[in-house]
Structures are given as structure tokens and as C-alpha cells.
């Protein structure tokens, strides 16, 4: 299998596991991504659109639907009173911690057939690909307990 085929097929595999985990938590994949991004900190709309790769209209709809569920809220930006930031609500924070931990567990299970050395090599290689291509932090590092590593 070539690099392109392996990466595309693995992306499909991870996307499917991510989508299933989101559904099991009553979320769409995009809502799950939004909540995971907000685990680190609140974001302004333009910054959030850049991280998620969404146009303003798509992001506004996503935030509106997620806010209607009580998972995120709009709050004034401390830097600019005319701007808003999107932040997790207490309910959204609880849900995303559960979703994040379960999603990490499911994705890590995908490599259960690999030995420690192969898993370490996979992490090193994929980590370099992600860093070299400046992929935004849309999913936090997990610590040993599986909870989000806030602030990293």
C-alpha cells in the first residue's frame, strides 16, 4: 500500500470511529470538533473558523445549533467589547470530557494489534507529518488518564 492510500484509508477509518463516538454522545462530528477545540480555551469566531476550516456562515450555524443545545455560549471578548468569544458551558464541558475520553479510547484501539515499538514509530511519523503541515490543534493531547491536557 502506498503512502497516499494508507493515509487516506486511515483518515476514513479515524473519521468513522470519530463519527460513531459523536453519535453515541448525541453529537454531530462537527459539534464534537467544536467542543474539542473549545476544551483548551474560548475562541473568537474568526479564529475558530480558521481552526475548524469553516466559512463564517457555516460556523455561525454550527455555533447556533450547539448553543441551542446548551453546550456552548457566546460571551463578550475581553479584548474587544464588540466581538464575542465562544466558550463551553458547564454542560458542554462535562459532555466533551466524556466524548473526548471515549473517542481517544476508541481511536487508540485501532492500533491494538501493534507492538509498543510500532506504536511509537507510528506516533513519531504521524506527529512529524502533522507538525510539518501545521495542522491546527483540533484535538488535544491526551494525558495518561485520558482527560484533556488543558493549556498545551
Judged on CB neighbours under 10 Å (0-12, 13-18, 19+), 103 is buried
Spatial contact of 96 and 38, defined as CB atoms under 8 Å apart: yes
3-132: CATH, from 1.10.3720.10, 3.90.480.10, 1.10.10.10, 1.10.540.10: 1.10.10.10
What DSSP line would sit under 5-62, residue for residue?
HHHHHHHHHHHHHHHHHHHHTT--HHHHHHHHHHTT--EEHHHHHHHHT--HHHHHHH
The rounded distance, in Å, linking the Cα atoms of 28 and 109 is 21
Question: Which pLDDT tens digit goes with each residue over 113-130?
Answer: 999 999 999 999 999 998
Is a pLDDT exceeding 50 seen at residue 61? yes
Per residue in 84-102, pLDDT (tens digit) is 899 999 999 999 999 999 9
This prediction has a pTM of: 0.82
pLDDT tens digits, one per residue of 20-47: 999 999 999 999 999 999 998 999 998 9
Enter the DSSP assignment of 142: B
Amino acid at each position: 500500500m502506498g503512502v497516499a492510500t494508507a493515509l487516506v484509508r486511515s483518515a476514513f477509518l479515524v473519521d468513522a470511529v470519530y463519527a460513531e463516538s459523536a453519535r453515541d454522545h448525541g453529537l454531530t462530528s462537527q459539534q464534537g470538533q467544536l467542543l474539542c477545540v473549545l476544551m483548551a480555551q474560548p475562541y473568537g469566531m474568526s479564529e475558530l473558523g480558521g481552526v475548524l476550516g469553516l466559512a463564517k456562515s457555516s460556523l455561525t450555524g454550527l455555533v447556533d445549533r450547539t448553543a441551542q443545545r446548551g453546550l456552548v455560549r457566546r460571551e463578550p471578548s475581553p479584548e474587544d467589547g464588540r466581538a464575542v468569544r465562544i466558550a463551553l458551558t458547564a454542560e458542554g464541558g462535562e459532555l466533551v470530557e466524556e466524548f473526548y475520553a471515549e473517542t481517544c479510547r476508541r481511536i487508540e484501539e485501532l492500533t491494538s494489534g501493534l507492538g509498543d515499538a510500532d506504536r511509537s514509530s507510528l506516533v513519531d511519523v504521524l506527529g512529524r507529518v502533522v507538525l510539518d503541515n501545521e495542522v491546527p490543534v483540533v484535538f488535544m493531547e491526551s494525558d495518561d488518564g485520558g482527560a484533556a491536557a488543558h493549556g498545551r
